[in-house]
Structure 1
Amino acid sequence: MNSPQTINGLMRHLRNDCKIQISGSYQKQQLTSYGYYHGYKGYRFAGNSYRQIPYSDFSEVVAVIEYDNNLKAALYPELMFIETALKNIVCNESVKGLKLGTFEHLYKERMSDNTTNTKLQSKRLKLRNSVYAKLAARYHDEEEKENQMVRHFYNRGEDAPIWVVFEILYLSDLAGFFECLNEAVRENILKQMNMFDISIDANKNLLSIMIYTLKALRNSVAHNNIIFDTRFKDRKISPVLKKWVEKETGIQNITLYSLIDYIIIVCCLLKRVDFSGTRALTLLNKYKEENQRLQNSVASEIYDHIIQNNVPAKVVGLEAYLNV
């Protein structure tokens, strides 16, 4: 195994082996701060390792890194806002009319139809196990903490209320929770969000499909992973989601192979949960600004390598959709 490279050695490697001009104390500090492995190694390609980005100067590498970082900064608050809003919407509709506000009661009353559907029953049982495992883990973790949200109830001999359960659910758990709800409850939630379309979504699972699709983006943004080329994508687009988004927005060719497709889905949700009505347009404007900044900072071959040909048309379509 080779000995680890010094920063000076890595600069020589970039110049001599990668044909990328880098010199001076400023770019040396940039390489140190961004890191060779998270920085250049991570950003040397777009999408797949064989699609190498044709850099000629380290300033172009920095421009792509900052482009990616600025997009994550723009997306993070909106994804957190959506996650919180969806938890509240699903929670409120799930408990409406229940006599008791506990998960066990909700499970018996609102996850009880289609009992002959063995796949659904298996999902429900796994969800119940997951919820109680998370409650047990949270109870254990709160032993030395002042904020004892779960212990507060269990130490008094009470079940944790459903709002506590929603506080500890991950985004993927929320998608599974929605899937496990009775069909009538799922339909009510979709209607409340103006997302119910029986011609496209016969199984009434559009919301869970959207959540599963955004989960990988949300986690990459939260953990500072690279997002500009959608390498985080962990699934093909669902036909239900594709048809719904294209019908909803009028934008065609939604494939998830470009970040703009994820931004379109995020904006569709923001249009439904944002009480101010400004978040989606603000996000789109930030995306446009960052694309322009990137275009001004790198060679045209690099920009065209990163931004797909159909992105400008999709941006125009999304702007029209949000301004309706």
Structure 2
Amino acid sequence: MEGKTTKELMKVLQEKHGINIQKDKQQDLLNMGYFHGFKGYRFIKKSENRIPYRNFEEVIAIYQFDKKIKTIFYSSIMQIETALKNITLDTVIGLGSADFTFVYEHLLNDYKKHRPGSKDFKKKMKNRLELRNIIYNTISYNYRMNQSIIQHFIHKNKPVPLWAIFEIISLGDFGFFIHSLNVEIRTNIAKSLSIYSTVHDQKVRVLEDMIFLIKDFRNAVAHDGVVFDCRFQLTPPPNRCVQFLHSETAMDNITFETIIDYVILHVYLMSKIGSPQKDVQRLKRSFAVASERLRKQIPRSIFVSIMGGDAEKKFTLLKRL
């Protein structure tokens, strides 16, 4: 299979895609990569939604904006993940034990509210059993990988406590854990975070909705995926989560179709876990600066396609959160 040199790919950009690229941009294309870079940034969400680039400088602008977003959000995502796990752990231990067997038998029993053998009972039981398998498989994997925390307990013939399990499970699996808890425990956790509403969240599911939204974003950031257009979103957020955020933030049209909605969610969660105000302000300021830089570097029509037609209104309201 024949490949192309960077010079040849520059010619492809010029002749096939109609993108003007100067000779002095060869290094930029080489650093970005034609396939990881240009091919990943030539459309918004779907390959048919091509961005009408006029020159390579506009490609670089969106590429750098995407990189900046990942840099800005990485630490806040880690902060949110750690805090949510610790708050959940504190609530669970306060109700009994940090032993996973105890938690599994007495707290991860959301299935009990359904009639045995019913469709909902079977679904919840299936989820519970899958969660147990995920956790035991994760413990096994980390033991094989010489993870010191896991080996410490196993070599002492002791059960791996919940706090150590939380250290090794993914954010998505943690969301699955929250999902499988009974409603009383979910309510206690939600109330401890002040993420609770009898109007918009009667089944106490909004917290796990938020975790799954953050999870998709986190995975894209961790694996250097494209994030500027939210293509990482695997499933749309449930209406209850959207309505809850509308009520809490006084912002309309939160759809998670544009990256600014993820900023809103991050700022909201950071306030709930008690992040220092300077960290919250730094996040908002950094994103605003990066967005304004992008706005000046690309045509307004492309900027609106990326950020949404109500971006300016959301930026204004975001300052008040």
Task: Give the structure-2-normalised TM-score.
Answer: 0.94
* Residue 21 (structure 2) pairs with residue 17 (structure 1): no
Q: How does 1:186-201 map to 2 (within 5 A)?
A: 186-201=186-201
Q: How does 1:75-94 map to 2 (within 5 A)?
A: 75-94=73-92
Match 1:103 to one of 100, 105, 108: 100
What is the count of residue pairs matched by the alignment? Answer: 314
Partner of 2:117 in structure 1?
none
Q: How does 1:108-187 map to 2 (within 5 A)?
A: 108-112=105-109, 114-115=111-112, 116=114, 117-142=121-146, 148-187=148-187
Secondary structure at the aligned position of 2:49 is classed as: strand
Secondary structure at the aligned position of 2:319 is classed as: helix
Shift of 1:280: 2.6
Structure 1 stretches of 4+ with a deviation exceeding 6 A read none
* Residue 195 (structure 2) pairs with residue 232 (structure 1): no
Partner of 2:52 in structure 1?
54
Residues 276-305 of structure 1: CA deviation (Å, up to 9, x unaligned) = 123332212111111110122223343233
Secondary structure at the aligned position of 1:45 is classed as: coil
For the Cα contact (< 8 Å) 2:270–2:280, is it kept in 1?
Answer: yes
For the Cα contact (< 8 Å) 1:53–1:305, is it kept in 2?
Answer: no
Secondary structure at the aligned position of 1:150 is classed as: helix
Q: Percent identity?
A: 31
Q: Alpha carbons of 1:301 and 1:181: their partners in 2 closer, same or farther (altered >3 Å)?
A: closer
For the Cα contact (< 8 Å) 1:210–1:241, is it kept in 2?
Answer: yes
Shift of 1:47: 2.0
Partner AA of 1:40 in structure 2:
F
Q: Alpha carbons of 1:113 and 1:218: their partners in 2 closer, same or farther (altered >3 Å)?
A: closer
How far apart are the structure 1 equivalents of 2:215 and 2:180?
Answer: 18
How far apart are the structure 2 equivalents of 1:17 and 1:8?
Answer: 14
Deviates more, 1:224-233 or 1:294-303: 294-303
Q: How does 1:299-314 map to 2 (within 5 A)?
A: 299-314=299-314
Partner of 1:223 in structure 2?
223
Partner AA of 1:294 in structure 2:
L
How far apart are the structure 2 equivalents of 1:174 and 1:16?
Answer: 49
Partner of 2:35 in structure 1?
37
Partner AA of 2:134 in structure 1:
S
For the Cα contact (< 8 Å) 1:95–1:106, is it kept in 2?
Answer: no
How far apart are the structure 2 equivalents of 1:162 and 1:237?
Answer: 28
Deviates more, 1:299-308 or 1:220-229: 299-308
How far apart are the structure 2 equivalents of 1:184 and 1:301?
Answer: 48
Shift of 1:259: 0.8
For the Cα contact (< 8 Å) 1:54–1:301, is it kept in 2?
Answer: no
How far apart are the structure 2 equivalents of 1:299 and 1:275?
Answer: 36
Partner of 1:280 in structure 2?
280
Partner AA of 2:103 in structure 1:
L
Residues 169-188 of structure 1: CA deviation (Å, up to 9, x unaligned) = 11111111111112111111
Partner AA of 1:240 in structure 2:
R
